């Protein structure tokens, strides 16, 4: 039965790629064309590097978010979590400065703190959602408020700044790289490649999709649903930690306004890229395109004077909705 | 015996209460929570003023509430009036519109009202208005920019969160630089945020091959701008003018950093001025009603020491 039904269902996909695949790519190409047309510096090495490097934070987080959403979950706490981890990292590094001095060990200590805090924060979210069975929306809405308050409290309402000498030493992690490609871009690329492999070829990705489309069926297929869900949140927490490691050397500070609205940008990027918000289907490379689209809109609006800056948000919103409409029409037609 | 004791205690309490109410006056202070650097400094100075005044005046009692949104601030003020029966209210409104009604209610109850920084949307409610000078902030910044670039020059401007405050500052700046040969290449909102201003400045640097100076209009934004310039390796930008007097930036001006030759104050400590004057009005017969506008002062390496507060979080 199944064997005879499968080929006709797959046949159209082998012809032309459907709009769900083409939509985000087309949107990105259109944006690139507009950018090139409006400003000759748009394709300069410096501008491209800037855009890619600033996309890296949201991008690294959005890769983790792709798995969470694919498995039918959601995480609203990532922006606050990044701010909290950044604050914690700065405090730990400043506190260890007299003992360790400026050097590689203290940077490694800071990185270990970020990774450990990210794993712990992700685990906490995940365990509350899976073991206690509370809605992901509610748990992460709560933890979003908690982390945001904690960083404000740690900073005493002001700004936490990394010791100046330490910052100078740590700075190359954001600004330098290999062969003119910055470290944030390299780390982002590695995370994307690993994520793409995990989503497409590993058992983990298939389990996420199965749970997202129907967790009952997944359970009967002997998938450990709670464990896989928990893993998606832990994985996301880890990536928030990694993103923070790249973020702190940029300005060397954290405050209550760090990472504001990152969660919504990450979720928007995931959805623009073609992952289904209800879960069941995820696409890591699509998420990358979504992140680039969002960054490019801001970049192009800054490079031109076409639109009043008051309307930046409106244009971003319109493009997000357009990108998703394009995909829906493609789905209805194909 | 037991009844007699209770009766006596009750009698003593009844006798004591009116006397206490006559002597002790309660001042309510309602301010926004520390959501960004400037507000953090304002919270610090409010707490410090309350502690100092409570120690100075035995017959003054303070209630300090910080609110994370306008609705919470309205509830705070209603609670102060209902449960603490405040004699005076010092309020820095989160937003003008939603706070106008509740503050008017306080004024109608007969309590003294001091409004700080952001005016209410209806005039004549407050007894005392203490505020910074936003058009003046823009004007002082513009005049400094003009004096520093006597032969004219190309500058870019980072604006704050779109608000009346930001509009008044930018208008003051534009008026002061008009006809001086200073060309404003572009203005973009950096939202008083380091990350946003970093991004905007990177894009300005890609867009304009030559920039002489930057009006960052705020010290948080100046930090983002400086990081972007440093990363680009560009040498054409002579200096960055921030504002509001963040301690780290005032320190750099004090130490003679050529990139940050000056600052323009918009002191978060204005909340302390408001609390002090209100307290004086309650305990003495000195008249304190009216308006108190705190000027924006130019901070240069020569006078920076006066504006450097190492203990403040801002």
Q: What pLDDT does residue B160 have?
A: 87
pLDDT of A15 reads: 56
pLDDT at B16: 45
Residue A205, both tokens: 């990705």
Q: Is residue A46 assigned to a domain? A: no
**Do A310 and B34 lie within an 8 Å CB cutoff?**
no
Q: Smallest CA–CA separation between A41 and chain B, in Å? A: 6
Q: Which residue has the tokens 């194909």?
A: A334
CATH number, domain of A199, equals: 1.10.3470
Is A20 part of a structural domain of the chain?
Answer: no
Tokens 């109608």 identify what position? B108
Q: Residue B188's beta-bridge partner residues?
A: B158
Work out the minimum CA distance from A228 to partner chain B, whole angstroms: 35
Q: Name every residue whose Cβ is closer than 8 Å to that of residue B265 and which is 6 or more positions away in sequence.
A: B243, B244, B245, B296, B297, B299, B307
User: How many domains, in total, are found in chain A?
Assistant: 1
Which of A87, A158, A161 is best to mutate for the B interface (most B CBs within 10 A)? A158
Residue-level pLDDT at B12: 47
Residue of A175, A255, A298 lying closest to B37 (CB–CB): A255
Per-residue pLDDT at A323: 74
B207 and A41 within 8 Å at the Cβ level: the answer is yes
Handedness of CA A280, A286, A292, A294 (dihedral sign): negative
Domain range for A146: 54-333
- What is the CATH T-level fold of the domain B134-264, as seen in this structure? Rossmann fold (3.40.50)
Task: Find the length of chain B.
Answer: 314
**Contact status of B186 with chain A (Cβ, < 8 Å):** yes
- Among residues A243, A240, A250, A248, the alpha carbon closest in space to that of A107 is found at A248
Please answer yes or no on whether A256 and B36 come within 8 Å at the CB atom. yes
Which residues in A lie closer than 8 A to residue B186 (C-beta atoms)?
305
Contact B44 A299 (CB under 8 A): no
Domain with CATH 3.40.50.2300 in chain B: 20-132+268-294, 134-264
Residue A31 lies in a domain: no
From chain B, the residues in CB contact with A305 under 8 A are: 186
Q: What CA–CA distance (Å, rounded) separates A66 from A46?
A: 29
Q: What is the pLDDT along chain B (314 residues), one digit of tens a residue?
A: 445 444 444 444 444 444 444 578 899 999 988 766 788 888 889 999 999 999 999 889 898 988 888 888 888 888 888 888 899 999 998 877 888 888 988 888 889 999 998 878 788 888 999 988 889 999 999 999 999 999 989 999 999 887 778 888 999 999 999 989 899 999 998 888 888 999 999 999 988 999 999 999 999 899 999 999 998 889 999 999 999 888 888 999 999 899 999 999 988 889 999 999 999 998 888 888 888 998 898 999 989 888 888 877 77
The interaxial angle of helices A78-100 and A45-70, nearest 10 deg, is 110
* Strand duo B88-91 + B112-116: pairing: parallel
Residue of B240, B230, B190, B194 whose CA lies nearest to A175: B230
A27 alpha-carbon distance from chain centroid: 19
- A152 located within any domain: yes
Contacts of B231 in chain A (CB under 8 A): 175
Q: Which three-class secondary structure state does DSSP give residue B69?
A: coil
Q: What residue ranges in B109-215 does DSSP mark as E strands?
A: 112-116, 128-132, 153-159, 182-189, 213-215
**Could you say which of B41, B162, B203 has the minimum Cβ distance to residue A158?**
B41
Element (H, E) at B60: strand B60-67
**Inter-chain touch A257–B36, beta carbons under 8 Å:** yes
Q: Which of B40, B162, B194 is facing A253, going by the closest CB pair?
A: B194
Q: What is residue A328's predicted lDDT score, i.e. its pLDDT?
A: 66
- Is A49 among the domain residues? no
Give the span between the Cα atoms of B65 and B42, in whole angstroms. 13
What pLDDT sits at residue A124?
Answer: 95
Question: Which CATH code of 3.40.50.2300, 3.30.70.120, 3.40.190.10, 3.40.50.20 fits the domain covering B20-132+268-294?
Answer: 3.40.50.2300
CB contact under 8 A, A260 and B43: no
Joined tokens for residue B177: 């630089």
* Residue in chain A nearest B248 by alpha carbon: A161
| Six-digit token string for A281 | 């289907």
Closest-approach residue (CA) in chain A for B159: A309
Whether residue A219 is contained in a domain is answered as yes
Chain B residue closest in CA terms to A310: B162
Residue A82 lies in a domain: yes
Supply the ipTM of this predicted assembly.
Answer: 0.71
Per-residue pLDDT of chain A (334 residues; tens, 9 = 90+): 344 444 444 444 455 667 677 778 888 898 899 888 888 888 888 888 889 998 999 999 999 999 999 999 999 999 999 999 999 999 999 999 888 888 889 999 999 999 999 999 999 999 999 999 899 999 999 999 999 999 988 887 778 888 888 888 898 888 888 888 889 999 999 999 999 999 999 999 999 999 999 988 998 988 899 999 999 999 999 999 999 999 999 888 888 888 888 999 999 999 888 888 888 999 999 999 999 998 998 888 888 777 777 787 788 788 778 877 877 654 544 3
CB pairs under 8 A between A and B: 91
In a domain, A39, yes or no: no
Task: Identify the closest residue of chain B to A304 by CA–CA distance.
Answer: B207
């Amino acid at each position: 039965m199944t064997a005879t039904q499968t080929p006709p269902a797959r046949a159209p996909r082998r012809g032309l790629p459907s709009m769900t695949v083409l939509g985000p790519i087309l949107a990105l190409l259109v944006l690139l064309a507009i950018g090139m047309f409006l400003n000759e510096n748009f394709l300069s090495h410096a501008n491209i590097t800037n855009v890619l490097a600033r996309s890296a934070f949201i991008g690294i987080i959005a890769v983790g978010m792709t798995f969470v959403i694919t498995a039918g979950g959601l995480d609203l706490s990532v922006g606050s979590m990044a701010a909290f981890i950044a604050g914690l990292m700065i405090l730990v590094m400043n506190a260890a400065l007299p003992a360790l001095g400026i050097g590689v060990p203290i940077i490694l200590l800071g990185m270990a703190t970020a990774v450990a805090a990210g794993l712990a924060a992700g685990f906490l979210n995940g365990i509350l959602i899976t073991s206690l069975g509370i809605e992901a929306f509610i748990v992460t809405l709560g933890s979003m408020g908690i982390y945001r308050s904690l960083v404000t409290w740690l900073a005493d309402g002001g700004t936490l700044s990394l010791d100046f000498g330490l910052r100078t030493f740590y700075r190359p992690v954001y600004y330098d790289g290999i062969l003119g490609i910055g470290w944030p871009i390299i780390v982002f690329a590695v995370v994307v490649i690993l994520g793409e492999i995990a989503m497409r070829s590993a058992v983990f990705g298939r389990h996420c999709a199965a749970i997202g489309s129907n967790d009952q069926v997944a359970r009967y297929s002997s998938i450990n649903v709670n464990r896989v869900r928990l893993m998606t949140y832990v994985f996301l927490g880890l990536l928030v930690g990694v993103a923070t490691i790249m973020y702190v050397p940029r300005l060397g500070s954290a405050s209550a306004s760090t990472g504001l609205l990152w969660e919504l940008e990450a979720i928007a990027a995931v959805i623009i890229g073609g992952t289904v918000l209800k879960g069941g289907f995820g696409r890591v490379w699509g998420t990358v395109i979504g992140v680039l689209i969002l960054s490019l809109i801001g970049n192009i609006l800054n490079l031109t004077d076409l639109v009043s800056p008051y309307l930046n948000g409106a244009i971003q919103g319109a493009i997000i909705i357009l990108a998703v409409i394009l995909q829906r029409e493609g789905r209805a037609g194909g | 015996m037991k009844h007699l004791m209770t009766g006596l205690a009750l009698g003593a309490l009844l006798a004591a209460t009116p006397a206490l109410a006559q002597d002790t006056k309660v001042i309510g202070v309602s301010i926004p929570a520390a959501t960004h650097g400037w507000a953090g400094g304002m919270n610090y100075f409010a707490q410090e003023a309350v502690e100092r005044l409570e120690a100075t005046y035995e017959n003054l009692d303070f209630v300090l509430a910080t609110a994370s949104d306008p609705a919470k601030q309205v509830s705070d003020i209603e609670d102060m009036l209902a449960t603490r029966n405040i004699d005076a209210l010092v309020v820095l409104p989160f937003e003008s519109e939603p706070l106008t009604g509740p503050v008017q209610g306080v004024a109608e109850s007969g309590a003294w009202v001091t409004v700080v920084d952001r005016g209410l949307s209806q005039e004549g409610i407050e007894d005392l208005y203490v505020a910074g000078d936003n058009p003046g902030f823009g004007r002082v910044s513009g005049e400094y920019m003009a004096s520093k670039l006597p032969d004219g020059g190309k500058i870019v401007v980072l604006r704050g969160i779109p608000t009346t405050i930001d509009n008044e500052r930018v208008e003051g700046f534009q008026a002061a630089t008009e006809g001086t040969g200073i060309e404003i290449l572009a203005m973009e909102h950096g939202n008083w945020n380091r990350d946003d201003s970093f991004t905007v400045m990177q894009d300005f640097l890609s867009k304009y091959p030559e920039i002489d100076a930057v009006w960052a209009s705020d010290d948080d934004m100046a930090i983002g701008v400086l990081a972007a310039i440093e990363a680009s390796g560009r040498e054409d930008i002579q200096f960055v003018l921030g504002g509001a007097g963040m301690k780290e930036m005032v320190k750099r001006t004090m130490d003679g950093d050529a990139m940050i030759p000056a600052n323009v104050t918009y002191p978060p400590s204005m909340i302390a001025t408001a609390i002090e004057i209100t307290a004086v009005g309650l305990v003495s017969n000195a008249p304190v009603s009216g308006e108190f506008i705190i000027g924006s002062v130019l901070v240069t390496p020569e006078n920076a020491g006066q504006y450097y507060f190492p203990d403040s979080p801002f």
